[in-house]
Structure 1
Amino acid sequence: MLLEQEDGTFVLNTASPRHVPVWKQCLHVFCCLVSLPLYFLMTVSSQFPITLDLLMTIILTELNRFVNERRRQKSYKFDNLDASPIREKEDWLRWELNVEKTAPRLDCMAAVVGWREHPDLFHRALESYKVAQGCTFILVGIDGDEIEDQDMVDVFNKATVIHLDEPLGEIAERTRAKLVAIRQQDEQPMDDADIDKMVMQHLIQLARNILDQHRLTIGGGSYDGIRHLCIRQRHMHKKGIMFSTFVFSLVIADILGIEFLWSSDSDTIVFPDSLSRTIDTIAADPNIGGASSGLVVHNGDETRITRLAATVYWGELYLTRSTTAATATSDCQSGPSTVFRLSALPNILVPWYLQTIMGKRMIINEDRHLTTNLLLRGWGVVYASDVLTATDTPTTMNKWLKQQLRWARATHIESLLMPKVYLKTNPLLFFGMAKREVGPVLAAVAVVHYLITSRSLVPFSSRDIGMRLLFGIVYNVLRNPDRLGTSGWAARKWVLPGILFYYIPLPAVHVWSMLTLTADGWGTAMRAEGETAPKPSGAAQPKNDMGFFIVWMGILAAATAKCLGHHHGLGSLHTGLLMMSCISLVVLVAWRVTKIKA
């Protein structure tokens, strides 16, 4: 990419992370400590704290869109350079030489990973890349080499297929252990970064040798090189196939001279400008290492659950993901729609893959931990909220809750167990984390406290909640790039139920995910017919894994009935009967809803 100098010339942009000096890290800590009391005083002193919080979020969301557009305009500036003959000959020759040597390369390659995806959906996903602007190469990673995995290979039948005898993740783990053992034996100092670098160099050379063994010509002219490649390996987990795919992507991108990698899933459908506009958001800033686009749901009309989920993406994701993104500190690059600057990946892939929490290897937080590693090393991460990509959402309540649990566990791990990231980033990241982590816990405690003591722990205002809902819906209608599909206004009848669908289980999901932090089950089934996700080795699966939700709904029903009884002046006996009736009804409905797994 090009950067404009003071004299008006353009030079090659060498991407590198920001260096954060010690004094600035201390300033970040101070700002983190004072931000929460200031926010608490500001909201508590208001009669409408929830609405005020929403207005602050809207301001940050608009700021994020403004900053992203400025970045895009900066990247477009090269296209509008003045080439008029008024220039003196010497200046013209210098300009022409500079353009020739440093012409921007905004093309990218796409890496798509999956396991036993439904062939029709996988076909739709791959077809969408045919019209994706700027995509010059597609690499597909299939996590499985059994007969059942052949369907995905058949869909991609026009591509060369490489079978990896051993997943690169296992090779990385074994190689690193050997290097550590050698250094310990020779009593050499341990430098984790140096060891990880040696492991990555070995893997890149190994991937290059594999491509050479298959005598593949990557890229080249219009027709003399392949533009599609499929790799497959023994089934592990999503993190395992992502790691292998990323390593091969580094080699292929180096051959093609490509600077950006689009990473996505096998159930994700891209729009023509999904890749190009997301890349344009980061291309002009050499300190930004990654970005992700906004998400919509492409199967929103499949079931009632998917309709509700579509409104959650529309009403909540757009706002919450934008909160910290204005300062290039987005804390999660969504797996279905992520762009990486390839120069940022080599130093983070090995520590990302080998992450352990409480002595246990983690496989559920692949997207968030990639983002955390970028932020820890000084790279910026942005959220292109006005760019859309279509993803798949669970079709039943059971699958939806399991997905929310998995995401919540990943959020807790990266937010609470990686405190060093707040030294290197804008305090807005800490502020957003604190709100996200404390809010649902406070809500759960407040409900239980009222049920036990009949006293409110926090002030409750129906007007505040009503204004928050009204302002949120109006803002999304006016500014959200997602128009809720082709249904338009008909789909918006699901907005209010969708808000309840998201917020009612949220405290239970939040607290239960904290209590089961290291659980690593994927929960959701693959789309291939008859497929279900296998249990992780050594992991015990509870008989009723939705019990936490059923218990929470019973508690919430009891607290609501108690509040209604007091409001209407019912006696203790009648209030108790109302509570028992509500508990029985709500628990039965919750059990029936979560029982449906197919």
Structure 2
Amino acid sequence: MISIFVAEYNRWANEKRRLKLHETPPSTPTGDIEKALLTMQNGSPGEITRCMAAIVGYREDPDLFYRALESYKATEGLDFTLVGVDGDQAADMDMVRVFQMVYPKNSAVIHLDEPLGEIAMRTYSKLVDPDMRTPEDIDYCNELTIAHCCQLAREILREHDIQFDKTQPGGGITKLCIYEPHMHKKAIMFTSFIFSIVISEVLDIEFMWSSDSDTIVLPDSLQKTIATVAGDENAGGASSGLVVHNEHDTLWTKLGSAVYWCELYLTRSTSASSGTSDCQSGPSTVFRISALPGILYCWYTQKVMGKRMIVNEDRHLTTNLLLRGWTVTYVSDTLTATDTPTTLSRWLLQQVRWGRATHIETFQQPKVYLLNHPVFFWAAMKREIGPLIVFFSILYYLITGHPFVYFCWWDLVFRAGYTIIYNWLRNPDRGPTNGFAWIIPALLFYNLPLPAIQIWSMATVLEGGWGTTMRSNGEMSKQSQSQLWKRWHDLGFFVLWMGVIELFGWGYWSRPSLRFTH
């Protein structure tokens, strides 16, 4: 019930932000007032929400990437589209060719010999003196590093004669593809963000939409999300809700779509109700561009116990915004369509990767809880501790034959019942096809492996691998040829846990008196 209340409060707060954006200044001339009123009636956020988009990817399925880029053509207020490709080998050129196919006019392609992130690290090492210890000195070096990278980006744009002025012959460049040697998602994001900062200065754009190469935007995805940030001067970022666009591919995508519908709306709204969303989803994120220069370098070079982190890019960006006092929210009444894994193994690997990122950001920066609302801390602890209680309760029962915590099936039935009804009434995602038939299987699909995913992601929290391959034909074939020991390392925890669940179920249902007492 608390989750439902805060979800409603979050929607009210976001609507209040958007209404504030539409408030007409007292000095507005009469003609402008009429124009503003017409804008509000049409539901358009207005001129203030002009934006650019930065889309990044690595060896994406060409058909899916084509659909993703095509979806941006229907977006209002999008002045510039930047595509970043992590890779410059022959297999990476498919994404470049798709870009050129979708945007044949007013577009350009630039190849970088070295990722800007690596140049930034060399620059920083030259700037930092061993005697520098104060946070002010470190921040100053960060600012100089980012300023140097921005200057390099300007010089690269000049060398390629990139003209943004629409009055120039040909209309000026409005679509740009940048590709560089393959490293990881963080590297291409860093490069794309640096170029976005430079381009936004030229075009006088205040907001950037950041997304992945498998994401399909809806006509109002960008505008409604950006309007929520634009209406709050303290907001540094936001992310929209998510639906699954490949729901009908396999049984697992169908279940994944139902999980998104059952879980995402309520769980993301909890912490966001206090203006402190803990994760801006990679597929559907908006940034106030002025908030980026101060956080980019420390985000790119994050280390945990001496190890570079690359799999928690979206969560760590959010953490850095919160540490600097920015508001980050979840725009629950706006949707963007993303891709979900088509096999059980890929789904589990994705959940483990997300789990590692969650643990890192939950425990590495406890200061973030002191700076933000207590609801933010409550949501984080609920997310971390809940699955652990289930895990140790089941093990305790198997060892002792006695329940560790009180459990009532009627509590579960009532909770599932009223949250499902609330979702049907308020969630902008209308749910999967024949949704009622998929709700119970989806809850089992998500919650049964969750305790094991929590434990395994904690035990392997410093592993930096992505887990799953990308969706191009060449990358998918690599996964099918992976060695048996690696697959056991990645997925063995799930096999063992399902054995534990089977033993638990057999023991629980073989004790009728215990079952009905608890």
Greater mean deviation of Cα atoms: 492-501 or 334-343: 492-501
Q: Match of 1:98?
A: none
Cα deviation per residue 1:7-47 (whole Å; 9 max; x = unaligned)?
xxxxxxxxxxxxxxxxxxxxxxxxxxxxxxxxxxxxxxxxx
Q: Match of 2:60?
A: 117
For the residues of structure 2 that align with 1:555 and 1:59, how far apart are their CA atoms? 36
Q: Is the 8 A contact 1:312 1:502 kept in 2?
A: yes
Q: Match of 1:554?
A: 499
Please give the residue correspondences for 1:332-351 in structure 2 after superposition, counting only pairs within 5 Å: 332-351=279-298
Q: Is the 8 A contact 2:47 2:77 kept in 1?
A: no
Query: Residue 406 in 1 paired to residue 325 in 2?
Result: no
Cα deviation per residue 1:191-233 (whole Å; 9 max; x = unaligned)?
2111111100100000011001111102434952110000000
Q: Match of 2:42?
A: none
Q: Aligned pair in 2 of structure 1 residues 569, 481: CA closer, same or farther (>3 Å)? A: closer
SS at match of 1:432: helix
Query: Residue 379 in 1 paired to residue 326 in 2?
Result: yes
Q: Aligned pair in 2 of structure 1 residues 477, 131: CA closer, same or farther (>3 Å)? A: same
Deviation, 1:530, is 2.9
Query: Residue 216 in 1 paired to residue 216 in 2?
Result: no
Alignment partner of 1:243 out of 190, 194, 219: 190
Cα deviation per residue 1:263-314 (whole Å; 9 max; x = unaligned)?
0000000000000000111112111100000000000010000000001111
Query: Residue 526 in 1 paired to residue 470 in 2?
Result: yes
Greater mean deviation of Cα atoms: 554-563 or 347-356: 554-563
Q: Match of 2:439?
A: 495
Please give the residue correspondences for 1:168-567 in structure 2 after superposition, counting only pairs within 5 Å: 168-180=116-128, 183-184=129-130, 187=131, 191-221=137-167, 224-484=171-431, 487=433, 490-532=434-476, 541=486, 543-567=488-512
Task: Report percent identity of matched pairs.
Answer: 53
Alignment partner of 1:164 out of 105, 109, 112: 112
SS at match of 1:382: strand
For the residues of structure 2 that align with 1:179 and 1:480, how far apart are their CA atoms? 50
Q: Is the 8 A contact 2:132 2:138 kept in 1?
A: no
For the residues of structure 2 that align with 1:247 and 1:399, how far apart are their CA atoms? 32
Q: Which amino acid aligns with 1:513?
A: S
Q: Aligned pair in 2 of structure 1 residues 70, 563: CA closer, same or farther (>3 Å)? A: same
Q: Match of 1:136?
A: 79
Alignment partner of 1:106 out of 46, 49, 59: 49
Q: Is the 8 A contact 1:525 1:533 kept in 2?
A: no
Q: Which amino acid aligns with 1:72?
A: R
Deviation, 1:568, is 7.1
Q: Which amino acid aligns with 1:338?
A: T
For the residues of structure 1 that align with 2:319 and 2:240, how far apart are their CA atoms? 17
Q: Is the 8 A contact 1:524 1:532 kept in 2?
A: no
Cα deviation per residue 1:119-170 (whole Å; 9 max; x = unaligned)?
1110100000000121111000000000001111111112311111110111
Deviation, 1:377, is 0.3
Q: Match of 1:5?
A: none
For the residues of structure 1 that align with 2:85 and 2:474, how far apart are their CA atoms? 18
Deviation, 1:543, is 4.0
Q: Aligned pair in 2 of structure 1 residues 569, 156: CA closer, same or farther (>3 Å)? A: closer
Cα deviation per residue 1:322-378 (whole Å; 9 max; x = unaligned)?
001122100000000000000000000000000000100000000000000000000
For the residues of structure 2 that align with 1:224 and 1:147, how far apart are their CA atoms? 31
Q: Is the 8 A contact 1:219 1:226 kept in 2?
A: yes
For the residues of structure 2 that align with 1:200 and 1:136, how far apart are their CA atoms? 24
Q: Is the 8 A contact 1:526 1:533 kept in 2?
A: no
Cα deviation per residue 1:404-440 (whole Å; 9 max; x = unaligned)?
0000100000011110111211111111111111100
Q: Aligned pair in 2 of structure 1 residues 291, 148: CA closer, same or farther (>3 Å)? A: same
For the residues of structure 2 that align with 1:408 and 1:198, how far apart are their CA atoms? 34
Q: Aligned pair in 2 of structure 1 residues 460, 215: CA closer, same or farther (>3 Å)? A: same
Q: Aligned pair in 2 of structure 1 residues 568, 148: CA closer, same or farther (>3 Å)? A: same
**Alignment gaps of 5+ in structure 2:** 34-45, 480-484
SS at match of 1:322: helix
SS at match of 1:156: helix
Q: Which amino acid aligns with 1:279?
A: I
Q: Match of 1:73?
A: 19
Cα deviation per residue 1:74-119 (whole Å; 9 max; x = unaligned)?
112239986449x9xxxxxxxxxxxxxxx95311000000011111
For the residues of structure 2 that align with 1:362 and 1:198, how far apart are their CA atoms? 23
Q: Aligned pair in 2 of structure 1 residues 503, 80: CA closer, same or farther (>3 Å)? A: farther
For the residues of structure 1 that align with 2:352 and 2:246, how far apart are their CA atoms? 21
**Which has the higher Rg, Structure 1 or Structure 2?**
1
For the residues of structure 1 that align with 2:133 and 2:381, how far apart are their CA atoms? 37
Q: Is the 8 A contact 2:369 2:377 kept in 1?
A: yes
For the residues of structure 1 that align with 2:219 and 2:455, how far apart are their CA atoms? 40
The alignment's TM-score, normalised by the length of structure 1, stands at 0.79
SS at match of 2:273: helix
Cα deviation per residue 1:540-579 (whole Å; 9 max; x = unaligned)?
9464421111111111111111011111799xxxxxxxxx
Q: Which amino acid aligns with 1:136?
A: D
Cα deviation per residue 1:389-418 (whole Å; 9 max; x = unaligned)?
000000000000000000010000001111
SS at match of 1:105: helix
Q: Which amino acid aligns with 2:258?
A: T
RMSD: 2.0
Q: Aligned pair in 2 of structure 1 residues 80, 387: CA closer, same or farther (>3 Å)? A: farther
Deviation, 1:484, is 2.3
Q: Is the 8 A contact 2:323 2:371 kept in 1?
A: yes
Q: Is the 8 A contact 1:219 1:227 kept in 2?
A: no
Q: Is the 8 A contact 2:48 2:230 kept in 1?
A: no
Q: Is the 8 A contact 1:112 1:263 kept in 2?
A: yes
For the residues of structure 2 that align with 1:202 and 1:403, how far apart are their CA atoms? 35
For the residues of structure 1 that align with 2:141 and 2:284, how far apart are their CA atoms? 31
**When the two structures are aligned, how many residues end up with a matched partner?**
489
For the residues of structure 1 that align with 2:10 and 2:194, how far apart are their CA atoms? 32
SS at match of 1:231: strand
**Alignment gaps of 5+ in structure 1:** 1-54, 88-102, 571-598
